[in-house]
Structure 1
Amino acid sequence: MKQGLWAAIALLASVGLARAEFPAPGTVLAEITVDVTGDGTPDTARLVVGTDADAVLVLDTGQRRVTAPKIAWLGGPAPGPSLEATSAGSLQVVTGNDSIGRERWSQTLTLAWRDDDLLLAGFTYGWRDTLDAANTGRCDVNLLTGRGVLTVNGQETAITQPPDRLPVTLWDGQPPRSCGLD
């Protein structure tokens, strides 16, 4: 009985310690400068710690500020979510889990400036089960065209869905239904 109690106390202490080490809301996790809007002037994108276990994307274009809450999960170990720029000037928010539990995953959101708004243009998600080597997959969808590929355990299937012009400010963190991940 005492061992169980001490184990529970140790667990609570470690949870408290982990919370104390978690970055404060507003802490900048990543920053990148790229001409996202295509107007010839560099724009600044930042990932900052939100009030939950999520990162918030803030894009400053000089003319306006676009904020996308809950753009990435912060619950995993360092280095955490990151920002990248594509050769076409789009942003990519990259996050994942490659160390905790048996379900490992990576996610890349591609964000593109279209019609004076930042849209979720692409969704890529890969997964693997460390205890079941046959449980692997990848979903890669261009949301602006509605075309992509779903690969599950080595079997590829073409994805065709209606094009979606979703402003990143409205993205709720749910993958496209065509990926079958819900």
Structure 2
Amino acid sequence: MQSSIRFILDMREASAFIVHSGFDPESFDSLLGLFKEHYPVDADTGSPRKFAADMALALVLMYLHKKIKQEILCVMFGATAVTINRTKNLGLDIFKTIFQDNPNDHRWRIAWPKVQEMKVFNDMILSNTMFENETRVLHGVFGFTDCLDVPIETPEDDLEQNAYYDGYLEPA
């Protein structure tokens, strides 16, 4: 019996890849090429690894892309908690190596948009506001993140506070 993740990897449906890993199949394959270079075929014990490189990569991407409890990952990947944890940690170490070995690779370069692009993005955001008072808070905003839990200073203005915090915090 194959796991649900193996089914998704074999099916290669773009929307399923994006929903679960944040990558389309072609981008996943591109990263997989680098990942395979560092992913050992055998475990430290000498026995074959439980997961092929593509499953290990999918696990790490899902761990980074979604807030999924380990128990759910176990069910999705059809593996024990020990296997999930070891594979995830190995995969994260491989990511660190890949990024350190290729620091200027355009695929993970993070850069601010140009000023004109920021204006276009802000215009798009403002065009979707429903209330006039939102425009004041959203003036100059060119992007946002969702489901990111980082501590920030709490603004004194309630409207500004509402723009930064939606009230949702997934339990750990």
Larger radius of gyration: 2
Normalized per residue, the structure richer in helix is 2
Q: Which one scores higher on RCO, CA 8 angstroms, separation ≥ 6?
A: 2
TM-score norm. by structure 1 comes to: 0.23
